[in-house]
Amino acid sequence: MTLEALQTQLLPAILDEVPFDGWTDRCLAHAAKLAGLTQVDLLRAFPGGAIDVLAYWNRALDRSAADAIAASPELKVREKITLGVRTRLEAAAPHKEAVRRGLGLLALPGHAATGARLLAGTMNALWYAAGDRATDFNYYTKRGLLAGVYLATLLYWLDDDSEGSAATWAFLDKRIADAMRLPTLVAPLRAGVKTLLTPPFLRRQAPGPV
């Protein structure tokens, strides 16, 4: 069996077990047994244990979001980003408790760097799928803003019991709208800072009277 096939077979079994045993070695071992696989198969698929599973699941969710965006090229950038975040959460919805416990694991000091790296990868995947190819300061601004929106929406979604997560989607729309307005508000400040940091002799001088 290929590595990808092993990972694909193990992931749903593990996600089903997490609510009972958490992201633990015991959970992974039991899930492998239920999936008809051996501990050798488990070690081959996810040698780093639960963190490797979380990273694999995270990338799978990123792909689902990117695919949804790619299938809707007619949407505006804002709509593509909203679709990507919503698709990602909907794909994870059957395993909310696994998401909740996964956040707890990634918040631990030993795994915080991995959590930050996964978040950065998700933000980049969403913006890239939406057509963003920025390489200047906007690259970091856009991803930083979206990270704030995504994390706030994720936490709201975890406790949302509204029908069809309607309250979460309304919350997401408002956060996206707020984030899209922020660059416009910040632009004058950024220009002012740039002017202050530019030596006087390099600033463009207005032409004097002739």
Mean pLDDT, rounded, for 118-139: 93
Mean pLDDT, rounded, for 42-55: 98
> Can you tell me the distance from the alpha carbon of 199 to that of 190, in angstroms, rounded to the nearest whole number?
16
Which fold does the domain 60-184 belong to in CATH? Tetracycline Repressor; domain 2 (1.10.357)
Mean pLDDT, rounded, for 158-178: 96
The per-residue pLDDT of the chain, averaged, comes to 89
User: What are the two backbone dihedrals, phi and then psi, of residue 185, each rounded to the nearest 5 degrees?
Assistant: -75, -30
Q: Cα dihedral angle (42, 48, 54, 57), rounded to 10 degrees?
A: -50
Q: Which tens digits make up the pLDDT trace of 21-45?
A: 999 999 999 999 999 999 999 999 9
Q: What is the pLDDT confidence band of residue 9, given thresholds at 50, 70 and 90?
A: very high
- Tokens at residue 120, please? 């950065």
Q: Which tens digits make up the pLDDT trace of 58-100?
A: 999 999 999 999 999 999 999 999 999 999 999 999 999 999 9
Domain spans of the chain, in order of start: 1-47, 60-184
pLDDT at 152: 96
For residues 13 and 57, the answer to whether their CB atoms sit within 8 Å is no
